[in-house]
Structure 1
Amino acid sequence: MKQSFKDLIVYRKAFNLAMKIFDCSKSFPKEETYSLTDQIRRSSRSVCASIAEAYRKRRYEAHFISKTSDADMENSETQVWLQFALECNYLSRIIFDELMNLSEEIGKLLNHMIENPKSYLKNADKNF
């Protein structure tokens, strides 16, 4: 069976996080619709999109690292929005901690990919 970016553990975790954020953000106040709500949804979803793009760039190490770095950047942005949501009392500490832990786990996986690109490149399909 041919593998795809959807088979990557980091992608599955990022998609799961984005969906959890989507569910939680449904309860954010209406006045946050075009600021916090849109931003946190966009950045969390962008992690997934950047992972998919990185997967397609596996033939070129610099491009792969660049797209994986983009995913890491979006993941960090998501953490900032989560912090705002907590401080504005839109998320409980328990939910915040759960989401932040997932995000930090994703960040570790992405950083491993950035630091060890050769094991993820197209010629190393065994790792995908």
Structure 2
Amino acid sequence: MHKVEELIIWKKAINLAKSVYLLSNELPNEEKFGLISQIKRCSISIPSNIAEGAGRNSKKEFKYFLSVANGSAYELQTQLILLVELNLITQEKVQPVIEICIEIQKMNYSFQKKL
């Protein structure tokens, strides 16, 4: 249906996942199987669901997978805020990643309306 590599939202979601992976290197090792694992899974889920939706046969299915991706974006944003609240990382280090997350959420909403 759509060439996923041409979708700006997918490209931004890939960059978000890369940013999360880089950020996770700055977190304490004792969180490896806790929040680190969770934020990585969420960040990967976003571009993965966009890609899966793009490969589906209908706009309805694409919208569904965009919705799932958006849920993961909100979940990731919550977990990033929690990292700061737990004093595992500074707000300054997390804020740029949160801003990308919010940008993707807005793009996703607009894209769903456009479909």
- TM-score (ref. length: structure 1): 0.83
What residue in structure 2 maps to residue 36 of structure 1?
35
CA shift for structure 1 position 99: 0.9
CA shift for structure 1 position 95: 2.0
Q: Secondary structure at the match of 1:78?
A: helix
Q: How does 1:62-73 map to 2 (within 5 A)?
A: 62-73=60-71
Q: Secondary structure at the match of 1:89?
A: coil
Residue type of the alignment partner of 2:25 = K
Work out the CA distance in 1 between the residues paired with 2:104 and 2:93: 17
Larger Cα-atom Rg: 1
Residue type of the alignment partner of 1:31 = E
- Structure 1 unaligned segments of length 5 or more: list them: 118-128
Work out the CA distance in 1 between the residues paired with 2:3 and 2:90: 35
Moved over 4 A (4+): none
The correspondence for 1:79, drawn from 70, 77, 80, is: 77
Work out the CA distance in 2 between the residues paired with 1:103 and 1:15: 11
What residue in structure 2 maps to residue 15 of structure 1?
14
Is 1:47–2:75 an aligned residue pair? Answer: no
Residue type of the alignment partner of 1:44 = S
Work out the CA distance in 2 between the residues paired with 1:45 and 1:89: 24
Work out the CA distance in 2 between the residues paired with 1:44 and 1:91: 18
Report if the CA contact (8 A) 2:49-2:65 is conserved: yes
What residue in structure 2 maps to residue 88 of structure 1?
86
Residue type of the alignment partner of 1:86 = V
- Further displaced range: 93-102 or 67-76: 93-102
Q: Secondary structure at the match of 1:27?
A: coil
Work out the CA distance in 2 between the residues paired with 1:84 and 1:96: 10
Report if the CA contact (8 A) 2:26-2:89 is conserved: no
What residue in structure 1 maps to residue 113 of structure 2?
115
Matched positions, count: 114
1:49-106 per-residue CA deviation (whole Å, 9 max, x = no partner) reads 001011112x312211111101101111100110111112222222222111110000
- Structure 2 unaligned segments of length 5 or more: list them: none
Q: Secondary structure at the match of 1:11?
A: helix
| Aligned residues with identical type, % of pairs | 27
Residue type of the alignment partner of 1:85 = L
- TM-score (ref. length: structure 2): 0.92
